[in-house]
Structure formats: C-alpha cells, structure tokens
Amino acid sequence: MNVFDAIQNRFSARHYQSTPVEKEKLHRILEAARLAPSANNRQEWRFVVVEQQSTRAQLAEAANNQSFVAEAPVIIVCLAETDHHVMSCGQKCYPIDVAIAIDHMTLAATALGLATCWIGAFDAARVKEILNIPDELEVVELLPLGYATSTPKEKRRLTLDKLVHYEKWGGN
C-alpha cells in the first residue's frame, strides 16, 4: 500500500478483534515513529507498549472508561521526555513532534492492515501511576492498535478551496 492509500484508508477504529499483533508488524510501526522528523532533531518521543490485558483494562478506565481501548491487543502509550523547548514561532516542540511520530505509526499500521485510534481523553496522572512513568515525562496520547472489526466510513472533510489560500490569506 502506498502512502496515499494509507492516508485514504486510515480511520479511527473503535472495535478490535482479539487477534494478537505480530511482533514484526509492531516493530515496523515503532520503527516508523523512530524515523519521524522532529524540531532540532530532538526526538523527544518515548513509548510504552502495553499488551497485558489487565493493564489495558486499567488504561481504558483511565481513558474515561472507553472500553474499546482495552479491546485492542496493543496500546502504545505515547510520551515525551522533554525540556519543554519552545520554537521561535512560540509553539512547544514536544506536542507537535510526538504527533508527527504518532501519525507515522497510524499510517504504517494502516499499510500493514492494522487499525488505530488517537485517544486524547484520559487522566494523565492515572496513566503515569498505572505504568510507573516518571513525573518528568508528559503523556501525550494513547494509541490502541489491532485488527479492526469494522471498516472505514466515508471521510467527511472540507474541500481544499475552504482550507487553502494561495500567496496570502483570501488569495484563492
């Protein structure tokens, strides 16, 4: 599957088969994250891969009781080991850089026949407690990973003419 097909086919899966994720596929997905670009090549992303069912259940509870999170045979907890560096544009590096790494993982997963769902609704302190994550690390997202039981719905997106301006704002 090429990258454009992966972009078109990626969707937020909320139901997963119990089929385990093959170690080779998991490694390729994590390698995709490792190869992501980052500001000043800081590479602040860190990951905890959770496969144990009891821990996944605790994480689902910490994710506002979203039970489907525990259905996925893998949850990748996406973290930042950061000094909170701010780029000259005024944005912190770590949320953007970790998001880029996550997007690499979601597209790699799609290309390998797996599904994911970005989870931003969670209690970060509880996630840290469950996984023994040091206080100085930031929990950015949870990423359930597995084989979906559903298929993607048609994407409802704005058209390019509503999103893109050329040369200056309003320059369509």
Sign of CA dihedral 127, 69, 34, 48: positive
Contact 147, 19 (CB under 8 A): yes
Q: What is the DSSP letter of 74?
A: E
Q: What pLDDT shows up at residue 105?
A: 98
Distance CA 11, CA 152 (A): 6
Tens digits of pLDDT across the chain (172 residues): 899 898 888 999 999 999 999 999 999 999 999 999 999 999 999 999 999 999 999 999 999 999 999 999 999 999 999 999 999 999 999 999 999 999 999 999 999 999 999 999 999 999 999 999 999 999 999 999 999 998 878 888 899 989 999 999 986 6
Q: How high is the pLDDT of residue 172?
A: 64
pLDDT at 1: 83
* Domain limits, the chain: 3-163
**Phi, psi dihedrals of residue 115, rounded to the nearest 5°:** -130, 160
CATH code 3.30.960.10 for 3-163:
no
Q: Which helix (H) or strand (E) holds 151?
A: none
